Amino acid sequence: AQSVTQPDIHITVSEGASLELRCNYSYGATPYLFWYVQSPGQGLQLLLKYFSGDTLVQGIKGFEAEFKRSQSSFNLRKPSVHWSDAAEYFCAVVSNTGNQFYFGTGTSLTVIP
Amino acid sequence: KAGVTQTPRYLIKTRGQQVTLSCSPISGHRSVSWYQQTPGQGLQFLFEYFSETQRNKGNFPGRFSGRQFSNSRSEMNVSTLELGDSALYLCASSAGTSGYEQFFGPGTRLTVL
């Protein structure tokens, strides 16, 4: 069965520091992977996605993620965090049988000045 | 293009009542998925509709039901509300073929008293 694990429940970084959010997935075939961000009281916004091809994908707001099949990981990175990046981040994998997404439990990011 | 819209944005109900939530997908999208988001359980998949047919279903009791209309708009119904049904209910639409990213609405915040 498909599943997604985000090991870090909460992360605190200083503004301007680099960021890496971890995501591990369990999936039998080549996965479709996504990162979403959710600001308080809002829906989820897509940051980036991986379907195939180049394992380093670029997203919006300066985020990128790298797909590593050998580690079953799809970690999200940003070289320099801004205060506006404070939010909840979700990693997701979609099944190949339909359109069902499996979400991780999320990582809450706090940015301190 | 207009995004996914959900109505109402906020609802307060009492135990035992029923509630209907509405979701209008992005124009041209045929797939609508529903999720329940709570602090303790995270994002949990309820069901997905594609072309008026339920294509996937999560592990929720029969009190949770949904439907999709010919214009792809979807409704979700919860009968005999329980306190534990208090949550943010998110709707997401996609083009419908496996692997397409989902676009989320802002959610409906349901409070059950």
Residue A67 in contact with residue A57, Cβ under 8 Å? yes
pLDDT digits (tens, 9 = 90+) for B64-110: 999 999 999 999 999 999 999 999 999 999 986 666 788 999 999 99
pLDDT digits (tens, 9 = 90+) for B8-19: 999 999 999 999
Beta bridge partners of B32: B49, B93
Residues of B in contact with A41 (CB under 8 A): 106
- Minimum Cα–Cα distance from B50: chain A residue: A99
Q: Is the pLDDT of residue B34 over 90?
A: yes
Contact B94 A99 (CB under 8 A): yes
Residues of B in contact with A100 (CB under 8 A): 33, 45, 48, 56
- Which of A42, A98, A101 lies at the smallest CB-CB distance from B102? A101
pLDDT digits (tens, 9 = 90+) for A70-104: 999 999 999 999 999 999 999 999 876 656 788 99
Contact B42 A101 (CB under 8 A): no
Contact B104 A98 (CB under 8 A): no
Task: Give pLDDT, residue A97.
Answer: 63
Q: Determine the residue among A99, A102, A107 to mutate to test chain B binding: the one whose Cβ has the most chain B Cβ atoms within 10 Å.
A: A99
pLDDT digits (tens, 9 = 90+) for A11-54: 999 999 999 999 999 877 778 899 999 998 788 999 999 988 88
Task: Give pLDDT, residue B99.
Answer: 63
Residues of B in contact with A106 (CB under 8 A): 42-43
Q: Is the pLDDT of residue B31 over 70?
A: yes
Residue A10 in contact with residue A111, Cβ under 8 Å? no
Tell me how far apart the alpha carbons of residues B22 and B2 are, in angstroms, rounded to a whole number.
16
Contact B33 A101 (CB under 8 A): yes
Contact A99 B98 (CB under 8 A): yes
Task: Give pLDDT, residue B39.
Answer: 86
Residue B100 in contact with residue B40, Cβ under 8 Å? no
Residue B56 in contact with residue B48, Cβ under 8 Å? yes
Mean per-residue pLDDT for B44-57? 91
Q: Is the pLDDT of residue A1 over 90?
A: no
Tell me how far apart the alpha carbons of residues A51 and B88 are, in angstroms, rounded to a whole number.
29
Tell me how far apart the alpha carbons of residues B23 and B31 are, in angstroms, rounded to a whole number.
11
Contact A98 B98 (CB under 8 A): yes
Tell me how far apart the alpha carbons of residues B86 and A44 are, in angstroms, rounded to a whole number.
19
Q: How confident is the model at residue A4 (pLDDT cuts 50, 70, 90)?
A: very high
